[in-house]
Each structure stands twice: as structure tokens, then as C-alpha cells.
Amino acid sequence: MYDVTLIPGDGIGPEVSQAMVKVVEATAVEINWEVVEAGAAVIDEYGTPLPEYVIDSIKKNKIAIKGPITTPVGKGFKSVNVTLRQTLDLYVNLRPVKSFKGIKSRYEDIDLVIVRENTEDLYAGIEHKIGNFAGESIKLITKPACERIVEFAFKYAKDNNRKKVTGVHKANIMKISDGLFLNTFREVAQDKGIAFDDLIVDAAAMNLVINPEKYDVMVMPNLYGDILSDLCAGLVGGLGIIPGANIGKDVAIFEAVHGSAPDIAGQNKANPTAIIQSAIMMLRYLGEQEKALQIENALSQVFEKGEVLTQDLGGSATTTQFVDEIIKYL
């Protein structure tokens, strides 16, 4: 029996989380879900969107899965996601991007992995106003953070039989901060026995659109990882598909890449694939390889058949119908 913290989130979060739980439970893996709430809904009661009991639950169980949480844009409280990553030092953001046969997209056979540094860069939250006419955000890049994320990327590549690691940066312009990332990448890469190269982030954006199949594992600082991982989601059918994991030394939080989608919340329309794929990653992390594969195969069959798809994928099925279809194949 595994104890897993479940943060359903808000918007479409509760719907997709419930769908995920139903699919995971259909494999008969024994999980005790410790459900805890975070986000705007708990602020009145606890004075914060991220109450201490949420952090305590994750620290205790060491593993969590979460739905999206709405973050006010340009004002209001700090992102719960960013706070969780920083508080628990979840320094890796891992986003595998893989095509499914049957999901309409301009590309086929994409299979790449974005490894994003998750704790610093422009997301360190070091920013301030300069009078009423300027704002300054500090881009913090440190050598230890570069080392551990690049080490992780190469270890992941080795463990998963990947062929190449590409470091993404903008060291031609930000010679000190991104320069440190690039130099560290090259140093760490030397003795790994895996092919590597590096690429400037703007060129990476263009190449990923023209020739995405050329890339395998890509490692990069926080901001570039955030942007390119959404770009990559677009290569394989959109945000409703892609999973993600935030991984630290001994704690991991699995989550969908998409947001709380307020435009379709509460309508039984959301595509739960992203959080289901995040659960597949979680099962693999727990060593439940067989159960993970069962769900992956069921998803593949549903997509390949293409008869029961949610609206974002051109179908007309509800979240519930889609989940029932997956369970048929388990």
C-alpha cells in the first residue's frame, strides 16, 4: 500500500484528478490517497493558498500528484506550484513528450524529453519595483543548480536508453548567467559516454517546429524549459496530453502541464490524459512498471481506435466517457 498525497487543485483539477484516480484504481494497485486542498479556495480559512498541512502531507508521504491550481496573473498570491517546488527543493521538472497514434498533429513519432531546472533563473521570484516606472527581476543561475540538473539529465538519458542530450541556453547574450549554465553543461557532459550538443534557445524553438524528431533529451534553465515544454506539447496534440514531474532528492510531485482551464471547468469536458500520464510516471517512480504499462497501453488503444475522444482532440466524448473507455482496455 502506497500513501500518496493528492492535491485535486481547482478549475478542471478536481474533474481530471477524479478521472485519474478511477483509472489508477482500475489496475488494482493499492494506493491510499491523502487528499489535501490548496489554492484560492483555502485562503479565507488558512490565510495562505498553500497551508502547512499540505507541505507536511507531502513531506510525510514523499510522493504527491496534483491537479492544476489557478494563479492570479500580474497580481495576488505567489504561484502555489512555484512555492512547492522551492520549498521542497524539487529541482527537476521532467516532461516527456511523446506522440500517440490517433491523436491528430502535424508530426508523428515524436519522442523527446524536456528536463527543466525548477528552482531558480527568473522564477526565483527575486523582483522589485524601481519607483513607479520600472520593475526588475533577477535571473539567478548558480553552479550547484546547473550541475545537479545536468547530472540528472544524463542519468535519465542513461537509465532510459536515450542517445543524446542537448543543452539549451542563451549564452551568446547572457554570457555570465547562461554562460555558467553552458560551461557547467559541457563540463558535466564530458565523461558520460552519451552524445551531447548545445543550442541557443531561439534556434531551439525554430528547430523544434521544423525537425522535432532530431531531439532526444533536452536540458535547460527554468524559463526556457517552461516555454519550450508548452511548445513541445503543441507538437503532439496540446496541453491536455503532456505529463510532468517535479523531482527532488527524495520527494516527487507529479502533475499535468496544463492550467486550470476556467473556460471549460465543471462541464465534464476536460481531457484527463495529462494527469493520467503523470500517474503513469508516478507508478514508474514507485517501481510499479507493469501497472504503468497497462495504463499506457490502454491509452494508446483508445487513441488509436479514435472513437471516444474529448473535444480538445476533435471528439465529442465527456471526461467520464473517455475514462470508461480507458478502463475497458485495462
**Which residues are identified as catalytic?**
123, 170, 202, 226
Q: Which stretch binds ligand NAI (CB under 6 A): 55-63, 116-124, 141-149, 257-265?
A: 257-265
Closer to ligand NAI by Cβ: residue 216 or 312? 312
Q: Give the separation between CA 254 and CA 281, rounded to whole angstroms.
A: 8
Residue from 6, 141, 153, 239 touching ligand NAI (CB under 6 A): that is 239
Among positions 32-91, residues that touch ligand NAI (CB under 6 A) are 68-71, 81
- The rounded distance, in Å, linking the Cα atoms of 20 and 43 is 26
Q: Using the minimum distance from each CB to ligand NAI, give the nearer residue, 147 or 324.
A: 324
Q: Which is nearer to ligand NAI, 80 or 171 (CB)?
A: 80
Q: Which is nearer to ligand NAI, 105 or 142 (CB)?
A: 105
Query: Which 8-state DSSP code applies to residue 85?
Result: H
CB of 242 within 8 A of CB of 272?
Answer: no
> In the complex, what is the shortest distance from the CB of residue 272 to ligand NAI, in angstroms, rounded to a whole number?
7
Q: Which is nearer to ligand NAI, 153 or 274 (CB)?
A: 274
Our CB check for ligand NAI shows the closer of 211 and 316 to be 316
The alpha carbon of 4 is separated from its chain's Cα centroid by a whole number of angstroms, namely 18
Give CA–CA dist 52/283, Å, rounded. Answer: 26
How many residues at the interface with ligand NAI, by CB under 6 A?
21
Q: Does 243 bind ligand NAI (CB under 6 A)?
A: no
Q: For the chain, percent helix, then strand, then coil, each to nearest 5?
A: 45, 20, 35
- Contact flag: residue 263 with ligand NAI (CB under 6 A): yes
H/E run at residue 3: strand 2-7
Q: Which of 141, 145, 261, 309 binds ligand NAI (CB under 6 A)?
A: 261
CA distance 28 to 31: 9
For residue 246, the cross-strand partners are: 93, 253
Pairing relation of β-strands 111-117 and 92-98? Answer: antiparallel
Query: Out of 240, 251, 277, 309, which residue is the one contacting ligand NAI (CB under 6 A)?
Result: 240
Question: How far is 81 from 73, CA to CA, in rounded Å?
Answer: 14
CB nearer to ligand NAI: pick between 12 and 201? 12
Q: Which three cell numbers stand for residue 300?
A: 494508446
3-state secondary structure of 99: coil
Per DSSP, 164 falls in state E
- Whether the Cβ atoms of residue 217 and residue 115 lie closer than 8 Å to each other: yes
Q: Does residue 298 belong to the site contacting ligand NAI (CB under 6 A)?
A: no
Stretch that binds ligand NAI, among 134-142, 199-207, 214-222, 256-264 (CB under 6 A): 256-264
- Nearest-approach distance from CB 150 to ligand NAI, in angstroms: 24
- Name the minimum Å distance from CB 117 to ligand NAI: 17
As measured in angstroms, the least distance from the Cβ of 23 to ligand NAI is: 14
Cell numbers at residue 268, please?
A: 465534464
Coil vs helix vs strand at 134? strand
Q: Which residues contact 134 (CB under 8 A, 6 or more apart)?
A: none
Record the cell numbers describing residue 288, joined without a space: 510499479
The region of 48-56, 207-215, 267-275, 291-299 touching ligand NAI under the rule CB under 6 A is 267-275
Q: Shortest gap between Cβ of 244 and ligand NAI (angstroms)?
A: 8
When asked if residue 274 is in the footprint of ligand NAI (CB under 6 A), the reply is: yes
118 binds ligand NAI (CB under 6 A): no
Binding residues for ligand NAI, rule: CB under 6 A, are 12, 16, 68-71, 81, 239-240, 255, 258-264, 270-271, 274, 312
